[in-house]
Structure 1
Amino acid sequence: MANKGISLFQLNNRIKGVLKNSFDSDLWIVAEISEVRYNQNGHCYLELVEKDDDTDQIIAKARATIWAYTFRMLKPYFETSTGQRFSAGIKVLINVSIEFQEIYGYTLNIKDIDPSYTLGDIAKRRKEILNRLEEEGVLEMNKEIDFPEIPKCIALISSPTAAGYEDFTNQLENNPSGYKFHYKLFPAIMQGNQAEESIIAALDRINEYEEVFDVVVIIRGGGSTADLNCFDSYWLAFNIAQFPLPVISGIGHERDETIVDIVANVRVKTPTAAAEYLIDSFDEKQSYHESLQEEFYNGINEILLEASENLHYLSNKFSPLVKTILERKSNQLLLANEKLVHSAKQITKSHSFNLKNFKTKLKLGLEHRLSTEKSHTEHLHSKIGIRVGRLLENQKHKLSLHEQSVKYLNPENILQKGYTLTLKDGKIVKDISSLSKNDVIETRFKDGLVESEIQKVNPKKYK
């Protein structure tokens, strides 16, 4: 006689009986939520999965239900305890009863949930992400980028409707010092399942214009701790850590530090604080320039004062010298005159018979001698005057040269002549020994500046 078999209903009914007898009490199970749906009656329908730790492939799957009267209590309890939205992608420890319907098949009825397990899983996953970033050598990469001295051009990632975006722009545009910033908004979704992909896409767009911007600022305003989940993403942190521009994280949460905060070049608490950080960078550079200017002017004043004192000293030194020379020559002239008079008297006594002729000759000789001595004295006086004048002119010329030297040493004049100034860490580079490979240097021209990274240092001396 042929075997007629059993009906499908009979089979399912037997399965139902076996399950009921085998699992006569509730169970605690661990699973990952892969899908969450709600209906208008408040019931929650889930798809639960388990993945292989090595391959990340799904190795088990089940449907689950949380009835409305239970879900109204479990959802706020879970989210308040964990700071995590009850959504797909999280691991949970749940208390379930196993049910089987002949028509709908096998399903799990969720009756309770343990938030502490999810908190532990979140912390574990966060630690794994940080360890992975460190092992890959990218954890500190963005922090190692030198923050620009004047961050003038800003790439801004935010939602255009976020309050944090408005706070940031208002603070930046209305800064008390009147600094001018240029910023460009790259809109992105800042919370939810699409946030990670949206922010990475914004970073990719900014990367196309890397040379235009000085810094990237990521901001959002307020929201719950659960809204920060996307900022603990491995791929978002990986992209920020390796980004070629310094990144400021100002995602608007004071108590919790996300992985994005850890890998960013600068972490601030709020969008307003991000704007203040940029303004403070300008203030610091402004103070530095004012200090240099004051130091430069003080140096000029010291040089001019020293030159003026030298000129005054020389003038005081030569005036008495000239007076002494004139007095000595005058005394010599008087002595010569006395000698001549005395000689004349002696000659008169000895040659009285030729007195008239001798008096005539004596008068002529005396006049000639007086004229000669007078000419010599005038010539000497003129010569001394000329030498003193030349000496004074020479000192004035030296003073003028000092003033020219000061003028030529002004960095602005050097730049105007077509030369450049090379700086490292804000200091002028005077010789090649202070430079190394991969150093970032700043080259100033008369009409701007550029930043360069040294590829090679060659100490060869050119002849």
Structure 2
Amino acid sequence: MSEISREILSVGDLNRAIAGSLEERFETVWVSGEVSNFKAYDSGHWYFSLKDEEGQIRCVMFRGRNGQVGFMPQSGDLVEVAANVGFYFDAENKRPIPSHPRAIGIITSPQAAALKDVLSTLARRAPHIPVVIYPTLVQGPDAPAGIIAALKNAEQENAVDVILLVRGGGSIEDLWAFNDEKLAYAIAASPIPIVSGVGHETDVTIADFVADLRAPTPTGAAELAAPRRDQMLQELDAIMQALLQRVSQRVEREAQTLDQLALRLSHALPNPDRMREQITGWQQRLNQAWLVRLDSWKRDQSHYQSQLEMLNPQRTLERGYAVILSKAENTMHAIRNPEELNTQDGFEVRLAAGEVEVQFAKIR
């Protein structure tokens, strides 16, 4: 038996090695089989499986190729196809999206309209979660390499728990960068879970299939990744109420048990005065233990309240920070980019003790 190689491969390296071996062994091959699970999307791509008695193979025929087919295939058709063999990714290997991420990363173009929508949604649902933007091109021949580089930057920094890969709608040509094979492997190999939100709900790309979770729109991706702060507070309050109710029920049960034991002892023992003293001692110990436990719960509740208070944006303002809000087009949103400042529009500056309206005379 041959000796096992000591070379250690990452999951992504192993995937690429398998894909390369398949592509070298099989170039263009003819395959016959029965069509099943055929789906034709509005993007123009066809997705289906070829099967026979011994197994099945998942297939995709892109828009540029299926235009040469003279008919619309249906599930159950027996066909012969010329195909290139590739290695794709099983849905069972997808990573779960964290329910409470410590930070959220966004990979998109800084000029994309989708970025504004995503930031607005995150600010509304989870203002306490930091957001890290990894800028890149999302259209054109250089876009796949830029997105791959952004994924590597996010992996190296290890500052976020989930990544939103987003882009607004467009033509199939505009979204073609998200069908790139190297990008698909990079998404599958990413150690950070990825939520894709590319185009509109009817737009489907290979990146959507490889990502750990697909959202119909960029805004939908933000909603899937960010927990609602008010909902978290409601859940915490419900847990506290349930805990208090269970404690109360437990105390009532123990009190009933104690009463029953006291009654049995008063009838069974020859020295009731001594047993009454013991019962009194047990009651005092129970009360003392209950007070200690209650104090512990109160401290835990105070700790949770202080943690929530730390997340209050008002505390940030009280530390000397300020927020500049734009009033352009009758919409209020926080200024995050100095390029949004100008000398024509009015702005609102919110401080710890209140807010003022300002207009800049000069911007350097």
Give the TM bin, normalised by the shorter chain.
Answer: 0.5 to 0.7
Could you tell me which residue of structure 2 aligns to residue 395 of structure 1? 283
Q: Secondary structure at the match of 2:195?
A: strand
1:249 aligned to which of 192, 196, 205: 196
Is contact 1:143-1:264 (8 Å) kept? Answer: no
Residues in 2 aligned to 1:82 and 1:268: alpha-carbon distance in whole angstroms: 16
Q: What count of residue pairs does the alignment treat as equivalent?
A: 236
Counterpart residue number, 1:68 = none
Superposition pairs of residues 282-297 of structure 1, within 5 angstroms: 289=236, 292-297=239-244
In structure 2, the residue corresponding to 1:152 is in which secondary structure? coil
Provide the secondary structure at the position in 2 that maps to 1:155. Answer: strand
Distance 2:288 2:240 in 1: 22
Q: Which ranges in structure 1 are unaligned for 5 or more consecutive residues?
A: 1-52, 56-80, 85-114, 326-382, 416-463
Specify the code of the residue in structure 1 equivalent to 2:132: K
Equivalents in 1 of 2:285, 2:24: separation in Å? 85
Deviation at 1:133, TM superposition (A): 2.7
Q: 2:165 aligns with which of 218, 227, 248?
A: 218
Question: Whose helix proportion is higher, 1 or 2?
Answer: 1
Query: Which residue of 1 is the match for residue 144 of structure 2?
Result: 196
Q: Structure 1 length normalisation: TM-score?
A: 0.43
Partners of 1:151 and 1:281 within 8 A in 2? no
Pairwise CA distance, 1:390 = 4.1
RMSD: 4.4
**What CA distance in whole angstroms lies between the structure 2 residues aligned with 1:259 and 1:321?**
79
1:409-446 deviation line (CA, Å, top 9, x unaligned): 99969x9xxxxxxxxxxxxxxxxxxxxxxxxxxxxxxx
In structure 2, relative to structure 1, the CA distance for the partners of 1:128 and 1:277 (3 Å cut) is farther
Aligned position for 1:232: 179
Please list the CA deviations of residues 388-423 of structure 1 after superposition, one character each: whole Å capped at 9, or x if unmatched.
34432333323433564677799969x9xxxxxxxx
CA gap 1:202/1:233 in 2 versus in 1, 3 angstroms: same
Cα distance change of structure 1 residues 293 and 239 upon mapping to structure 2, 3 Å threshold: same
Query: Residue 199 of structure 1: CA displacement?
Result: 0.8
Instruction: Report the counterpart of residue 161 of structure 1 in structure 2.
Output: 111
Answering whether residue 219 of structure 2 is matched by residue 265 of structure 1, we say no
What SS does the aligned partner of 1:308 have?
helix
**In structure 2, what residue type is equivalent to 1:163?**
A
1:363-412 CA-to-partner distances (Å, cap 9, x unmatched) read xxxxxxxxxxxxxxxxxxxx965653443233332343356467779996
1:35-434 equivalent positions in 2, closer than 5 A: 118-120=65-67, 132-134=86-88, 139-140=89-90, 143-175=93-125, 179-210=127-158, 212-280=159-227, 289=236, 292-312=239-259, 388-401=276-289, 404=292
For CA contacts below 8 A with separation 6 or more, give which structure has more relative contact order.
2
CA contact (8 A) 1:218 1:250 kept: yes
**1:245–1:287 distance in 2 versus 1, CA, 3 Å:** farther
**Other structure's SS at 1:193 match:** coil
- C-alpha distance in 1 between matches for 2:287 and 2:236: 28
SS in 2 for 1:394: helix
Aligned-pair CA distance for 1:297: 2.2
Aligned CA distance change for structure 1 residues 133 and 288 (closer, same or farther; 3 Å): farther
Give the Å deviation of 1:276.
Answer: 1.0
Change (3 A) 1:158 1:116: closer
Deviation at 1:145, TM superposition (A): 1.9
Distance change in 2, residues 1:82/1:155 (3 Å): closer
Q: 1:116 to 1:394 in 2, by over 3 A?
A: closer
Deviation at 1:119, TM superposition (A): 4.2
Offset of residue 237 of structure 1: 0.5
Distance 1:279 1:286, change over 3 A: farther
Q: In 1, Cα distance between the equivalents of 2:250 and 2:92? A: 46
